[in-house]
Amino acid sequence: MSVGTATEQRPFAEQHALNRAIWDRIVDDPKWDDVPEKIETDRDGNLIMSPPPATRHRIRQQRISGLLNQLLPEGVSFTEGAVSTGQGAKVADVVWYPAGRGQQVEDNDLSLPDFSPDICVEVQSPREKRGEMEKKAAAYFGVGVREVWLCDRKGRMSFYGPQRQLERSALCPEFPSEIPAKILR
């Protein structure tokens, strides 16, 4: 699904239009419905596919989303949230939108909104290097995400604002610093 050769950075409106056109084709094409891999795009519209996450990864994803919905009930959190960035369409493991924007996502069934969530969370997979997560964080901050949270392989959380690492989340200071991956407690 490539749309050409590598390009320079585009203005966001132009990049989002490209991201949205490619994303809509993916979402509307039934051949992608049962693909187990996570699908993202680069800034030129090329597909990037990742193997499905391991069980511990999915457990942490669900726990983080559930805790966000519990601790920040004035908004909405869900897993596998697509974010239109200057580096293409990226899929955060968890996203949180404040009420107004969350309602827009729901009411309009937006799979790739032209606005960003306030929080993006990445849960580290066994094959994923920290540098890859940091590149995604930079892409999220580039489109107005207020905080990016990283959950490492041991479940330890780290919180970032656009300029620096935070001791705790400014948006959800009660969020725990560790997320267990055990199903049974």
State yes or no: pLDDT of 175 exceeds 70.
Answer: yes
Residue 161 CA to residue 140 CA, distance in Å, equals 11
Structure tokens, 48: 């990037």
Q: What is the pLDDT of residues 66-82, one digit of tens each?
A: 999 999 999 999 999 99
| Degrees to nearest 5, angle at CA 38 with 37 and 39 | 110
User: What does pTM read for this prediction?
Assistant: 0.86
Q: Strand ranges (DSSP E) for the chain?
A: 38-41, 47-50, 75-85, 88-98, 119-123, 147-151, 157-160, 165-166
For 7-28, the pLDDT digits (tens) are 578 898 899 999 999 988 998 8
149-164: per-residue pLDDT in tens? 999 999 999 999 999 9
Which of 147, 145, 146 is closest to 157 using CA atoms?
147
Rg of the chain in Å (alpha carbons) = 16
| Architecture in CATH of 53-166 | Alpha-Beta Complex (3.90)
Rounded Cα gap, residues 29 and 171, in angstroms: 37
Backbone angles phi, psi at 67, to 5 degrees: -65, -40
